Chains A and B, each alone.
Chain A
């Protein structure tokens, strides 16, 4: 086997770094952050989330508060999805941030907080380019972007995640009890604000909790005491892959439109008079019919699908964009971008051999269960 070496660069630590070390984390560099890849076994952590409750430190993600009297108009211009759909406090929306060509600069979640105030969570790896782009677009709008580096973020996910979170955090998050999926509640208590959203990146129920950095440690410890186990970025990736959720930079990028990334449902082309960045390109692409589509693959031969393997179909070639062993299915799965007309089966080239894969509609697993035999 070959060993890899990484170039040393200044890295950052989240407020939970000590907790990771205490839990036996194997630390890796992720987008300039020293993050836990696993705490012993990625497979066990994966099953922990599908079957019970796990927690992730996602404090490296970027929380932005966007405020101003023109903020709704600004966001309706900036984002491919339409914030007019979330004019209720706490309501969340998934959207792509597009360039003029309809390519994806990043994907994000945005929450309506109050009149003239939205909260956006974007990816750590794209932080600088996102901020530069968003600030550049504010010209002519009364909208101000504030980076909330004072906040940490913990995702608690799994069928028992919400119960255990309420046991751990008690009255401080009572306001979250009645939340519907994709809604958030601002829970104020004496120690500070806990922003609790019923969202996630695993295909399981649970919360994403945004909280003051100084409260992260005690919150983590309380969750740990309630039986929520730490889960690293490794299992986060296999969980989101099984759930059929795109990973920015891997399943989509600035050369790929949401229509070719399985994200048409996040592009609000109506009302037709809403002008947003990338609209013209997407309308044209939709009329022409996108050349490619994103599908799920289940490998039928022995082996493991990985990103960037060649896919051979009767309509031409494609490529896997994410691939792994699926702990829930016990088989290898992938997301792949292939010619739009393809259905049925395809071949994937792995180390010179062509292996057979079944083309399926993702997600592969959700709410603790495999969706395939």
Chain B
């Protein structure tokens, strides 16, 4: 059973979002997602200062098995990317919710974050997928 931390927000496409005290957000893929994809071997991150609308393809995570798109959970600007992943993409497998983060964004409308799924709703979603 996958880990689903309570303090995070989630998307149907298996991204997680953590709101920082300064109003920016950190984005990654969930433990459930990394488990489905298997061993990560390459991660293509967005450029900093790039702008995305919620639902845009903005990164690609590649496991030995397959490439999967990562979608921007909110509308906003990319302000940082996780440089560590260039040489050690396996961090996403080992620690999806923390050191395996993908990028940080400055949201255009902080209200958009509230509309994302909470932990309970996301746990239900993956429970359904597993059956």
Contact = CB atoms under 8 A, between A and B. Distances in A.
Nearest to B65: A234
Contacts, number: 54
Nearest to B89: A325
B87 to A, nearest CB: 10
A303 B67 CA distance: 10
Interface stretch (A38-46, A172-180, A197-205): A38-46
Interface string B21-58: 00000000100010011110110100000000000000
B129 interface: yes
A302 B85 CA distance: 12
Given A2-B69, A3-B14, A304 B62 contact: yes
B98 to A, nearest CB: 18
Nearest to B29: A1
Contact of A325 (B13, B33, B37, B41): B41
B54 to A, nearest CB: 15
B38 A304 contact: no
A39 to B, nearest CB: 11
A324 interface: yes
B39 A2 contact: no
Nearest to A324: B64
Contacts of B2: none
A127 interface: no
A64 to B, nearest CB: 31
B12 to A, nearest CB: 8
A296 interface: no
Contacts of A325: 41-42, 62, 64
A12 to B, nearest CB: 21
Contact of B64 (A3, A43, A351): A43
B102 to A, nearest CB: 11
B29 A304 contact: no
Contacts of B39: 41-43
B82 to A, nearest CB: 15
B64 A238 contact: yes
Contacts of B13: 1-3
B68 interface: yes
Contact of A303 (B38, B44, B70, B129): B44
A1 B33 contact: yes
A306 interface: yes
Contacts of A234: 38, 64-65
A332 B29 CA distance: 23
Contacts of A1: 13-15, 29, 33, 37, 61, 68-71
A20 to B, nearest CB: 16
Contacts of A351: 44, 60
B129 A3 contact: yes
Interface in A1-45: 1-3, 37-38, 41-43
Nearest to A353: B44
A37 B65 CA distance: 10
A351 B46 CA distance: 13
Given A3-B129, A234-B65, A302 B37 contact: no
Contact of B67 (A38, A41, A42, A304): A304
Contacts of B67: 304, 306
A240 to B, nearest CB: 14
Contacts of B86: 302
A317 to B, nearest CB: 21
A42 B38 contact: yes
A57 to B, nearest CB: 19
Given A324-B64, A325-B41, A325-B64, 10 more contacts: A1-B37, A3-B13, A41-B38, A41-B39, A43-B64, A234-B64, A234-B65, A304-B42, A325-B42, A351-B60
A-B interface, 8 closest residue pairs, ranked by CB to CB distance from nearest: A1-B68, A325-B41, A43-B39, A304-B62, A304-B42, A42-B64, A325-B64, A1-B14
21 contacts: A1-B15, A1-B29, A1-B33, A1-B61, A1-B71, A2-B68, A3-B13, A3-B129, A37-B65, A41-B38, A42-B39, A43-B39, A234-B64, A238-B64, A304-B41, A304-B42, A306-B66, A325-B41, A325-B64, A327-B64, A351-B44
